[in-house]
């Protein structure tokens, strides 16, 4: 039995694949270092992320998989749900073991799992692109915080960078405690150095521009008046915006007074 | 901002909401000028109203003053309602500020007709132009084409807008005469044809010169009101089919008539025909994405869509000779015709069966819904149905059998129809 640990990065995970092939020692489990339980049986192999080794695995995959399959694999990594490392490993092994392409072979459990994980991640990505609401701060920064179910920040920033090329903006993931900041030229990942406390990354009321209230209120007014009461359909409404997303949406907050 | 804007927004959003088009996809406007916004690729729904419709665009009228008196329209001249008008600058400010906060994908601008068609159209075009040129706005813009507006203005509108639309509203010339006396089919179809010509011309020029100006890259659409006049489903779908074929429309939208007036030219209804509207949309999808010809969906002996079941199931029950479909060998086109199997499931099936003979277990894992499909398919020549039921039995089993789910709305509306019928 072979237990692998890695640093939690995508590069680290690909390095695990490299090491497993190097040793011909297929993993029983792959876990992040800080989460790993020391095993009683079998050997634990602590893998250090290695750019070159990871790069070789990725190059090998590029020869066997289409760009969209590679994207799905990366999405599965960002999906972060229990067992994702094993799923990714099984998928990569299946790809290397077969001379024919494995794409679309939904009869193989790992191919189906990758497809389904990527689909979930894609849906969350799309929801964040839709439900992020910026507030303009007194420093002319458009700011939003999010708490996505999956780690979608790395895949939503290109959307926002293209869209808001002429405004300063930042999006902060309060669950994973990191964010992205666009300075009118490039978008970079940021962390906030305040001591870890609850509410970090949430904008204090005092930092918000005066006009923010006006537009929030106008948006609420618009939302109420674009509705057709005769067609009320709460079930459909909830299917489209599940309650857990309401916290982002000013139109779902109590009505503001003019 | 003062309360006047709030008041205007209330009135002019209220007046615009019966236009159901919400699409923000199909634009090809990339943010190449370091401006605001990007409208390439997929549309985004930023919110959903409590009636379950998507909110993608700031959908407003420039004004609800109108010289026309169309019976079905809340904005008609004879209706005693509050009137308001935005200035050009107000619309621009709202659009930009909503967009910057990620509330919307762009602007859907329509208007009541004041003074005359060209005067109104000119204002709409001016707003789009200002957004594009002064604010470097690359978000989505959908402009309504005012019936009777000049060819030059429509041509200019297409330079700034991603989509143009002319609403037909009433599915026959007769109804139009009766309910919208100032409008005529020729006046509506003329700009539609105009836009089509412009679209084709722009496409040709693009082939020759990459720098040729784009014209409404997301194409044109229209809307038909369902239930305000006497046309049956067959007439409505035949018209749509013709519009898709002859005018290359991207979309025909259907709007179940919401009783907004007590005008005596209209039928008396208490509730919008939501189920009927939904069935028409399903039929429209069958024509556009499932390879169905309109004549297969409805014919002279079946001029109405079945409200209880979807039109694909309805077709399958009338064409039992085409089934069962063996999923391991059938053509993709035929798999698409199986009730309950959509485009995504059909593609997955065709992809996965290259690797192994599919079983029902595979289908379940892939998420293929079998509730309706199971009566029409075999996997490796096995069926989940030991008996060969007749169509009526299948219909009943699907409607009332195990796991049959019916929304309260459906039950309620069907009861209503039963009472009426």
Per-residue pLDDT of chain A (258 residues; tens, 9 = 90+): 899 999 999 999 999 999 999 999 999 999 999 887 766 777 899 999 999 999 999 999 999 999 999 999 999 999 999 999 999 999 999 999 999 999 999 999 999 999 999 999 999 999 999 999 999 999 999 999 999 999 999 999 999 999 999 999 999 999 999 999 999 999 999 998 764 555 677 788 888 888 899 999 999 999 999 999 888 999 999 999 999 999 889 899 888 765
Task: Report helix, strand or coil for A30.
Answer: strand
CA distance A97 to A232: 54
Q: Does the pLDDT of residue B376 top 80, yes or no?
A: yes
The reported pLDDT for the residue numbered B339 is 97
Task: Note whether B82 contacts A: Cβ–Cβ < 8 A.
Answer: no
The reported pLDDT for the residue numbered B187 is 86
CB contacts of A129 in chain B (<8 Å) are 44
For B259, other C-beta atoms within 10 Å of its C-beta total: 17
Give ranges for CATH 3.20.20.70 in chain B.
3-297
DSSP symbols for B146-207 = PTT--HHHHHHHHHH-SEEE---BSSSHHHHHHH-TT--HHHHHHHHHHHHHHHHHHHHHHH
- Summarised one tens digit per residue, pLDDT across range B20-58 is 888 888 787 888 888 999 987 788 999 999 988 999 999
CA distance B327 to B350: 8
CA distance B5 to B1: 7
Those of residues 156-175 in A touching chain B at CB distance below 8 A are 159, 162-167
Q: Which residue stretches of chain A are H helix?
A: 10-23, 51-64, 67-79, 84-97, 109-131, 153-163, 210-225, 234-240
Q: Does the pLDDT of residue B261 top 90, yes or no?
A: no
The residue of chain B with its CA nearest to that of A184 is: B34
Instruction: Work out the minimum CA distance from B396 to partner chain A, whole angstroms.
Output: 25
For B118, other C-beta atoms within 10 Å of its C-beta total: 14
Task: Report helix, strand or coil for B231.
Answer: coil
Instruction: Work out the minimum CA distance from B278 to partner chain A, whole angstroms.
Output: 12
Token pair 């919401």: residue: B258
Instruction: Work out the minimum CA distance from B240 to partner chain A, whole angstroms.
Output: 24
Please report, rounded to a whole number, the percentage of residues in chain B having pLDDT higher than 90.
Answer: 74
The reported pLDDT for the residue numbered B65 is 96
Beta-bridge mates of residue B107: B58, B141
Q: What is the dihedral of CA B277, B283, B287, B288, to 10 degrees?
A: 50
- Mean of per-residue pLDDT scores for chain B: 91
The reported pLDDT for the residue numbered A165 is 95
CB contacts of B61 in chain A (<8 Å) are none
Query: Is residue B163 very low, low, confident or very high in pLDDT (cuts 50, 70, 90)?
Result: very high
Instruction: Work out the minimum CA distance from B210 to partner chain A, whole angstroms.
Output: 22
- Let me know: does B26 contact B162? Beta carbons within 8 Å: yes
CB contacts of A236 in chain B (<8 Å) are 48, 51-52
**Looking at the domain that runs over B3-297, which CATH code has it been given?**
3.20.20.70
Tokens of B59: 């959908």
The residue of chain B with its CA nearest to that of A236 is: B52
The residue of chain B with its CA nearest to that of A224 is: B49
| Residue B39 DSSP class | E
Q: What is the dihedral of CA A125, A127, A130, A132, to 10 degrees?
A: -80
Kindly determine whether residue B30 and residue A240, on different chains, have CB atoms separated by under 8 Å: no
Tokens of B178: 């009766």
Those of residues 136-155 in B touching chain A at CB distance below 8 A are 136
Map A137-189 to HEC letters. Answer: ECCCEEEEEECCCCCCHHHHHHHHHHHECCCEEEEEECCCCEEEEECCCCEEE
CA distance B88 to B107: 13
- Kindly provide the ipTM of the predicted complex, given to two decimals: 0.93
- Let me know: does A45 contact A25? Beta carbons within 8 Å: yes
The reported pLDDT for the residue numbered A156 is 97
Task: Note whether A131 contacts B: Cβ–Cβ < 8 A.
Answer: yes
CB contacts of B55 in chain A (<8 Å) are 223, 226
Adjacency order of strands within the sheet including A2-6: A29-32, A2-6, A43-46
Task: Note whether A140 contacts B: Cβ–Cβ < 8 A.
Answer: no
CB contacts of A136 in chain B (<8 Å) are 100-101
pTM: 0.91
Give the residue-averaged pLDDT of B209-235: 91
The reported pLDDT for the residue numbered B420 is 47
């Amino acid at each position: 039995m072979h237990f692998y640990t890695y640093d939690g990065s995508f590069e680290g995970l690909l390095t695990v694949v490299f090491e497993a092939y190097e040793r011909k020692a297929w993993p029983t489990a792959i876990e992040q270092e800080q989460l790993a339980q020391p095993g009683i049986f079998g050997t634990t192999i602590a893998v250090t992320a290695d750019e070159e080794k990871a790069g070789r695995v990725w190059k090998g995959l590029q020869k066997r998989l289409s760009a969209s399959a590679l994207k799905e694999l990366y999405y599965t990594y960002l999906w972060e749900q229990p067992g994702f490392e094993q799923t990714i490993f099984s998928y990569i092994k299946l790809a290397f073991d077969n001379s024919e392409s494995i794409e679309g072979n939904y009869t193989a459990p790992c191919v189906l799992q990758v497809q389904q994980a990527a689909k979930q991640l894609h849906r969350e990505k799309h929801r964040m692109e839709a439900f992020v609401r910026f507030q303009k701060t007194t420093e002319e920064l458009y700011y939003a915080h999010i708490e996505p179910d999956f780690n979608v920040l790395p895949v939503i920033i290109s959307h926002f960078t293209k869209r808001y090329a002429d405004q300063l903006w930042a999006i902060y993931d309060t669950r994973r405690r990191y964010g992205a900041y666009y300075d009118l030229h490039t978008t970079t990942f940021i962390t906030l150095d305040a001591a870890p406390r609850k509410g970090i990354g949430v904008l204090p009321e005092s930092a918000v521009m005066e006009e923010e209230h006006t537009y929030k209120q106008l948006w609420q007014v618009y939302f109420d008046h674009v509705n057709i009461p005769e067609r009320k359909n709460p079930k459909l409404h909830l299917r489209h915006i599940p309650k857990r997303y309401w916290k982002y949406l000013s139109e779902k907050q109590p009505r503001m007074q003019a | 901002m003062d309360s006047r804007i709030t008041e205007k927004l209330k009135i002019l959003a209220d007046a615009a909401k019966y236009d159901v088009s919400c699409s923000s996809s199909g634009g090809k406007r990339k943010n190449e000028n370091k401006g605001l916004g990007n409208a390439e690729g997929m549309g985004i729904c930023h919110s959903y109203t409590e009636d379950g419709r998507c909110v993608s665009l700031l959908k407003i009228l420039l004004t609800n003053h109108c010289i026309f008196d169309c019976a079905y329209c809340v904005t008609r001249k004879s209706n005693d309602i509050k009137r308001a008008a935005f200035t050009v600058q107000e619309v621009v400010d709202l659009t930009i500020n909503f967009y910057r906060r990620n509330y919307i994908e762009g602007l859907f601008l329509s208007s009541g007709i004041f003074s005359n068609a060209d005067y109104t159209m000119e204002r709409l075009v001016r707003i789009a132009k200002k957004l594009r040129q002064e604010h470097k706005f690359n978000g989505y813009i959908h402009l309504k084409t005012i019936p009777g507006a000049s060819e030059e203005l429509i041509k200019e509108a297409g330079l700034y807008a991603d989509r143009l639309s002319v609403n037909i509203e009433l599915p026959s010339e007769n109804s139009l005469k009766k309910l919208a006396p100032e409008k005529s089919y020729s006046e509506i179809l003329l700009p539609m044809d105009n836009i089509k010509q412009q679209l084709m011309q722009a496409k040709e020029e693009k082939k020759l010169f990459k720098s040729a100006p784009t014209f409404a890259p997301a194409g044109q659409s229209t809307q038909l009101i369902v239930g305000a006049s006497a046309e049956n489903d067959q007439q409505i779908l035949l018209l749509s089919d013709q519009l898709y074929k002859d005018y290359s429309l991207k979309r025909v939208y259907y709007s179940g008539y919401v009783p907004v007036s007590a005008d005596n030219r209209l039928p008396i209804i208490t509730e919008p025909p939501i189920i009927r509207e939904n069935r028409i949309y399903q039929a429209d999808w069958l024509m556009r994405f499932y390879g169905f010809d309109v004549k297969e969906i409805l014919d002279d002996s079946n001029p109405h869509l079945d409200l209880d079941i979807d039109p694909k199931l309805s077709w399958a029950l009338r064409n039992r000779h085409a089934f069962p479909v063996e999923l391991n060998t059938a053509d993709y086109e035929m798999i698409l015709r199986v009730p309950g199997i959509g485009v995504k499931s059909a593609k997955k099936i065709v992809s996965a069966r290259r690797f192994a003979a599919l079983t029902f277990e595979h289908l379940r894992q892939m998420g293929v819904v079998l509730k309706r499909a199971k009566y029409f398919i075999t996997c490796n020549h096995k069926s989940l149905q030991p008996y060969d039921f007749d169509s009526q039995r299948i219909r009943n089993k699907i409607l009332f059998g195990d796991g049959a789910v019916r929304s309260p709305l459906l039950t309620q509306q069907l009861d209503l129809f039963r009472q009426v019928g």
